[in-house]
A and B are shown apart, each in its own frame.
Chain A
Amino acid sequence: MTDGDKQRVSFTVNGEAREAWVFPHESLLDVLRDAGCHEVRYGCGEGVCGTCTVLLDGEPVSACLLFAVQAEGCSLLTVRGLAQGAAQPGEPHPLQASFLRNGAAQCGFCTPGMLLTAWALLRREPHPTRERIRRELCGNLCRCTGYSKILDAIEDCRQP
């Protein structure tokens, strides 16, 4: 393959228009990281671990299982975009604040995926049970916390 085989792809990341020339086989994950979105992280490359979760038109997807060319015209949200929904500029998003308050992050590697999956769940279902949260997050693996603190943090953000 030569550069002539590259295709132009345009999408938005956290509301900002982006454009890239990519080979068809380049994953969205690689292209996002090359574009400086280092908050999207490589975990397993098989869609199992949830570390590379991004929201594609509002739905959580594995960026390692999507080719960048498939994101043409789509709107992407990474964890960096979550804080744009905070009350004050520079403040963390309420979910992020809850993760901090509850000690729900240790090494932090899985945290962006956890936050985005939880955000999508709470937007769809504002009052999930703990069991429901557990099920929804079963595809996001954490090696450090044992999950309890993460569930606590998300429960803390449910609407009463």
Chain B
Amino acid sequence: MVAAPFRYQRAASFEEAVAALAEHGEDAKLLAGGQSLVPMLNLRVARPEWLIDLNPVGAGPVAEAGGVLRLPALTRHRVLESDGLVRRRCPLLAEAASLVGNVRTRARGTIGGSLAHADPAGELPLAALTLGAEVSVLGPAGARDLLVDELLISYLTTALAPDEVITEVRVPAPRPRQGWSFLELTRRTSDWMVAGAAALVELDERGTVAAASLAFGGVAERPVAAPAELLGGLSGEPPAEQRFARVADLAAATLRPEDDVHASGTYRRRVAGVLGRRSLNQAAIRARASGETP
């Protein structure tokens, strides 16, 4: 399997990439880590006339400012899983990145690329949605910001215009007494998730739930957040496993996953419920632990 011929342009900046996209339109594809795009080129599922290589743009260091973690779009999964700041301030993202593909995928793959590719079973879209992350996007008319929840539309489909590029991902820094969890079921290590769940649980001084978020991956055309009214019911209550189980089961019951060769939709929904319960529980345990060690 060999990619069909294409024309190749290196972009030294996001502005150059946008200009190239504006010039070549739908005939151009952006190349970041290439761990999803290049297999598609090799299999000739995709045959763009132009490939605009973003790699020369590079990625500066991850930084924390004003209560957010700022991740350059070309930050590689390897950095997310090993960077001290990400591991300390956003362990959910570090954990999710460590579960992406194999060691070579993580050496090349980028967070911007992963979000723009929008695989419904991708770890980073699920993590970014759960965390309430936001992306900066550059296009010919200038820059705009949108929530990952607004970015992700469906299978390999985002709200990005054909001439737009993600330049930065921003993740809210963790709050005090907030715990996290990221869990997935895979058939084999490094495979796509059959289903996954990620959660954040914040406790107040008395140890009752102040806020909780929960989202599922691999069970719909994009990662989906559990209904807000279900999660809202946890607030002000003790972080009890039975309560988490009930919320996770009700949230999973709203899912309509499809059958495929890896698992039936019914099985996926069942797994989502189990992982949802475990992730809320684990996040609450971590929240409690973080409160004990100031």
Contacts and interface: CB of A to CB of B under 8 A. Distances in A.
Interface of A: 1, 5, 7, 23-25, 27, 30, 45-48, 50, 53, 56, 59-62, 64-67, 69-70, 117, 120-121, 135-136, 138-140
B6 A25 contact: yes
Contacts of A1: 5
B104 A24 contact: no
Contacts, number: 88
A139 to B, nearest CB: 2
B42 A139 contact: no
Q: Which 5 A-B pairs have the closest CB atoms?
A: A139-B102, A24-B8, A45-B1, A59-B107, A65-B38
Contacts of A59: 78, 107
B4 to A, nearest CB: 7
A50 B8 CA distance: 26
Contacts of A7: 8
Nearest to B76: A59
Contacts of A117: 103
B3 A139 contact: no
Q: Which of B41, B55, B104 gathers most chain A CB within 10 Å?
A: B104
Instruction: Categorize the interface residue count of chain B.
Output: 20 to 34
Contacts of A30: 2
B2 A27 contact: yes
A61 B4 contact: no
Nearest to B107: A59
A65 B108 contact: yes
B13 interface: no
Contacts of B39: 45-47, 65
A65 B2 CA distance: 10
